Structure 1
Amino acid sequence: MKILIFGSGGIGAYFGARLAEAGEEVVFVARGAFAEAMRRDGLRVFSARGDVHLKPVTLHESAETTGAVDAVLICTKMWSLPEAAEAIRPLLTPETAVVPLQNGVESVELLGKVIGSDNLLGGVAYISAHIEAPGVIRHNTQHARIVFGELDGRRLPRAEALQSALERAGLDAILTDDVTRALWEKFSTLAPLAGACSHYRKDIGGLRDSAGGRELLQALASECIAVGRARGVAFSDGWEKTVYDRFDELGAAVKPSMLLDLERGNPLELEWLTGATLRLGEEAGIATPASRKVYADLRPFAEGRRAAVAEG
């Protein structure tokens, strides 16, 4: 398959490297220092699942020059989706599968406003990987899983072909008939974790040990799940307990990416995590006081350190 990786950060570069190593025709879109390093030195991935050094790398600064593709994995931050949608629109054929892998539950809606729904699938990624240096990716765990599927639950050849390519690359690829539930299952775990850890400025171990930390985490999760149910998401029975147990099973040093961005002074995905719970809750008539509290605390930092200093 010819697969475009749009957004060559930790997640996109990792998946792309594995796919290219397995023999798929992978095209990366990247700019700046990361792109320069890949052109010069190739793409290096250090991982417990085996290291990869991909050289040469098929790299474009713009999707406009890549030609038609069979699949697109969009691995940017949520705020870059409108730009990504405009960039990939000329590349799409009737059979191209577009799989967004952002945190949050609104990526399909945002993309659909630009490219329509015919090419869109839903997807979530379970992986911890980050840029260690330009052209270098560090994969932190054994987990590297993608759950994706057609929005209407059908099993079309394009989705099955992409699943096969991902599996040949050694990735855990699950094709689901209820991708909306898959999106909300991750969201109801990640959004509370990101919000609570960022609010307390602590990793999960510190959060669990903080007075009120566990209570806030569970309150945020309960609000997410209530909002999802109000929107028709078919969570399994006892999903709240499943999420609470996951919080307790996480290693003490785990930090969600939003907390790392807060510590580094980077822009936050606040609007698409805690903010989405708040916004979608209001639309569904669900009260979300814990989310409102966390959102108010973090909103001054949402645009990054420069914005927070300017506002202060």
Structure 2
Amino acid sequence: MRIAVVGAGGVGGYFGTRLAEAGNEVTFVARGRHLEAIRANGGLVVRSPLGEFRAPSDRFVPALADVGPADVVLVAVKLWDTEDVAVGLRDLAAAGARVISLQNGVQKDTVLREHLPPRTVWGGVCYISAAIEEPGVIAHRGGMQKLVFGPYDGEDGARAEEFREVCAKAGVDAEVSADIARAVWEKYVFLTGLSGTTSAVRQPIGVVRRDPATRALLRDVMAEAAAVGRASGVHLDESFVEERLAFCDTLPATMTSSMHHDLEQGNRLELPWLSGGVADLGRALGVPTPRNRTVADILAPYVQGRPRVE
């Protein structure tokens, strides 16, 4: 299968490399020091508890305009780049490519559909802890690595199943969802809790879930996000938050979030689309979100990167 991966960081780098090693024609769009290191070292290296994987440097290009025809496009850039990527994908989508965003948040596909034929945009979420360890190297932490995707309109079922089979042959845990909007919100509820608490506490999930006060914060942040989802018309079971809290207890104690990683590295944060997004959507829908608003306020000075002390 011909696959384009837009963004070769932790998410795109991991899944794209696994798909490339399985014999698929994968083209990565990368940039900056990461791309320079990939070219200098002969490819991208993924270090994982599941093994070490590599994608050759000749599969990496600096711009979407350099990508050839594709059957599937995986979008794995930060949320602030979504609109620019959507504009750059117009030709590929018009030629029949299906676009799956693996980004965080719940607004991503709305942005993509503003620029692309709606039927070409499938919903998608991923479950993985992976990040750029150093330019040219991806570190995958823990054994979790799962993709969930599917068309919003219920069509393209056979095509979605074909991509699932491609993922399975590559050793990637993958699932086609019959209710992808719900799956996206379920991931959003979990991720908002994980990212907001690990970033605000500056500790991995093991510390957050062990202390009674921060465990309550984790639960409340997820409960507010779930309430906003229900007010948006998405069906989320009343037991869902407790189930997610129990799921957090199964995660490796050292697991953290990409936002916590970015915070520690002094990078820009996706906060406006995570806890900030919950707070904004809640205000528009009349749903109280005091815990998410507090997390967003605490982290606000770091949104554009490490703040300067004047």
1:148, distance to aligned residue in structure 2 (A) = 0.3
Which secondary structure state, in structure 2, belongs to the residue aligned with residue 153 of structure 1?
coil
Offset at residue 277 of structure 1 (A): 0.6
Q: Where does residue 309 of structure 1 map in the other structure?
A: 308
Alignment length, in residue pairs?
Answer: 309
The corresponding residue for 2:141 is: 140
CA distance in 2, matches of 1:167, 1:153: 22
Which amino acid in structure 2 is aligned with residue 203 of structure 1? P
5+ residue gaps, structure 1, are none
- Matched AA of 1:14: Y
The residue aligned with 2:181 is 180
- What TM-score does the superposition give when structure 2 sets the normalisation length? 0.94
Rounded Cα–Cα distance in structure 1 between residues aligned with 2:166 and 2:249: 34
Paired residue secondary structure (1:236)? coil
Name the counterpart of 2:90. 89
Whole-angstrom CA distance in 1 between matches of 2:54 and 2:246: 37
Runs of 4+ in 1 over 4 A off after TM superposition: none
Structure-1 separation of matches of 2:123 and 2:164: 13
SS at match of 1:105: coil
Specify the SS of the correspondent of 2:118: coil
The range that moved more, 140-149 or 90-99, is 90-99
Q: 1-side partners of 2:271 and 2:202: how far apart? A: 14
Secondary structure of 1:51's counterpart equals: strand
Q: Which one-letter code corresponds to 1:188 in the other structure?
A: V
Secondary structure of the structure 2 residue equivalent to 1:234? coil
The answer to whether the Cα contact below 8 Å between 1:181 and 1:235 also exists between their aligned partners in 2 is yes
The Cα shift of 1:122 comes to 0.6
Write out per-residue CA displacement over residues 124-167 of structure 1, whole angstroms, 9 at most, x where no aligned residue: 01111221222222222222110000012334333222222211
Counterpart of 1:216? Answer: 217
Aligned amino acid, residue 234 of structure 2: V
Deviation per CA, 1:6-34: give whole Å up to 9, x if none.
00111111111111111111111112222
1:1-312 aligned within 5 A: 1-40=1-40, 41-210=42-211, 212-305=213-306, 308-309=307-308
Provide the TM-score with structure 1 as the length reference. 0.93
The verdict on how the C-alpha distance between 1:202 and 1:43 changes in structure 2, with shifts beyond 3 A counting, is closer
Partner Cα distance (1:9, 1:108) in 2: 20
| Contact 1:64–1:90 (CA under 8 A) maintained in structure 2 | no
RMSD: 1.7
Contact 2:129 2:255 in 1 (8 A): no
Equivalent position SS for 2:141: strand
Q: Which amino acid aligns with 1:27?
A: T
Contact 1:155-1:177 within 8 A present in 2 as well: no
Shift of 1:202: 2.4
- The 1:209/1:22 distance shift into structure 2, 3 A limit, reads closer
Instruction: Give the match's secondary structure for 2:58.
Output: coil
Amino acid aligned to 1:102:
Q
